[in-house]
Structure 1
Amino acid sequence: MAVRFSKSPFLGSPVSSISINLNRPTKFCRFSVQNHSVQHSSCDTNKQLILQVKEKLKKDHPSLPVGKNGRDDDEMILWFLKDRKFSVEEAVAKLSKAISWREELKVSELTEESVKNIAKTGKAYLHDFLDVNGRPVLIVVAAKHFAAMQDPAEDKKLCAFLVEKALSRLPPGKNEILGIFDLRGFATENADLNFIKFLFDVFYYYYPKRLDQVLFVDAPFIFKPVWQLAKPLLKSYASLVRFISLETLKKEYFTEETLPIIFKD
């Protein structure tokens, strides 16, 4: 059995969703037929923590917007409390940064039309199918990224738009997505440490606990020094990265029908 919220705590898209599997107890509210006191205690605690975060955000960051994805959004607050292990201080710090970023980038206003020019490059897109583990799949084609020629501001907008789109396709019971970097044909002009760090910052600060794994497919020798420089910048998130071959990608992550077209060569 699953409870499905029509809006995610941290998405601009109204069709986005987050699901909680009631077959497995959560840290938020335990549903138990045998012990109603535990259930109510957990729920009451969550409500109190949410209220504390709201009050602190209002006091310390009054200029932040309210409403959906704002400083008084209960679902968003609860998600960040979970990420920060229910520390009010840490949740407030991270939430204020995330809400400010969303407002600055105008995430809720991003559309297919607003990112169409940079999307035409084919450097990044959302795959039409889920992987074998039921995760939405974001694909980045490194050989089509040219930091010296493309506007980094547009890259950031495309990134936010695609993450929002991916999260809107989460199936019930799933909360995380898969990222794939196609490194075939990677050259020095495709290297961009700043953008690699930005991508991981997005998932740490603005979309916490949404990135499950990152696959680097067929990384050439020339990519190794780039990774050695990037890895320390990513800190613990570097552990999400797995270097794999194209054959491994085909065997372990997709079926013949769901394999992305670019990997069918």
Structure 2
Amino acid sequence: MAFRICHNLGRPLIVPINLTKTPSRNCNFSVQNCSLGPNQSHKLVSKVKDKLEKEHHGLPVGKNGRDDEDMILWFLKDRRFSVEEAVAKLTKAIKWRQEFGVSTLTEESVKSVADTGKAYVHDFLDVYDRPVLVVVASKHFPGVHEPVENEKLCVFLVEKALAKLPAGKDEILGVFDLRGFGTGNADLKFLTFVFDVFYYYYPRRLGEVLFVDAPFIFKPFWQLAKPLIKSYASLVRFCSVDTIRKEYFTEETVPANFRD
């Protein structure tokens, strides 16, 4: 039996870790590492709501707004139940959603970029019941579309993947198909954007990232990217197509581009 130390409002608790049915490279960011009782959680959510209303009254309300209790609780867990830190991060996230126009993104608005096949949300969940976001690196060419168009596709697909989360599940799987990757596909700025989006606006939603069949030419690119994405680099697992088939999907659910 393995154990984990969890800090709940400054009090360290030792809790057992269930090692069965977990991904081989489980994320260190799981929100479920630390939790409070319903009454304590509700009180903290109310505090955050009150502060947001008083200090940031102009922020929108409703789903993903300043009064969205599910969103507030998620950011509280991300900030280890610090009201001040949760308010700061939530304020930034809600403002970004408003300025970026997340709620206005549709299949049609990202169609020209999506039609390249460079990224998509897989129809099936992986064996750990996580929605799957697949990126085909060899189809990404930085100069073909404006950076903001690629960013919009990224955010739209993240939203789409999160909408597929089964009840009780919190994380998605990112799969980067690196077969055929060349220097013309390298885009350090966009890769940094992807991980920044998860850190600032969708914290702890990215459970694991698989880099599949990375060619030798990808390694120097990764060495440049790794410091920029900081702790999120620990989510990355380099693996083979065979690993994808055997460890993450069944024969019926494996993405088409990873079939024989």
Tell me which interval the TM-score lies in, with the shorter structure as reference length. Answer: 0.7 to 0.9
Q: Given the alignment, which residue of 56, 79, 98 partners 2:51? A: 56
What CA distance in whole angstroms lies between the structure 1 residues aligned with 2:175 and 2:110?
20
Structure 2 residues without counterparts, runs of 5 or longer: 1-31
**Cα distance, 1:220 vs. partner?**
0.5
**Residue 258 of structure 1 pairs with residue 253 of structure 2:** yes
Alignment of 1:26-65 (within 5 A): 27-29=35-37, 43-65=38-60
Alignment of 1:6-155 (within 5 A): 27-29=35-37, 43-155=38-150
Identity %: 69
**Which residue identity does 1:112 align to in structure 2?**
E
Which residue in 2 is equivalent to 1:18?
A: none
- SS in structure 1 at match of 2:217: helix
**Which residue identity does 1:163 align to in structure 2?**
V
**Cα distance, 1:53 vs. partner?**
1.3
Which residue in 1 is equivalent to 2:202?
A: 207
TM-score, normalised with respect to structure 2 = 0.84
Gap change, CA 1:172 and 1:44, over 3 Å in 2: closer
**Which residue identity does 1:102 align to in structure 2?**
R
Q: Aligned-residue CA RMSD in angstroms?
A: 1.6
Which residue in 2 is equivalent to 1:192?
A: 187
- SS in structure 2 at match of 1:213: strand
- Cα deviation per residue 1:159-204 (whole Å; 9 max; x = unaligned)? 1111111111111221111000000010111101111111111111
What CA distance in whole angstroms lies between the structure 2 residues aligned with 1:263 and 1:177?
18
TM-score, normalised with respect to structure 1 = 0.82
**Which residue identity does 1:95 align to in structure 2?**
L
Return 47-56 or 107-116, whichever deviates more: 47-56
* Alignment: residue pair count: 229
Contact kept, 8 Å, 2:34 with 2:77, in 1: the verdict is no
**Residue 219 of structure 1 pairs with residue 214 of structure 2:** yes
Which residue in 2 is equivalent to 1:230?
A: 225
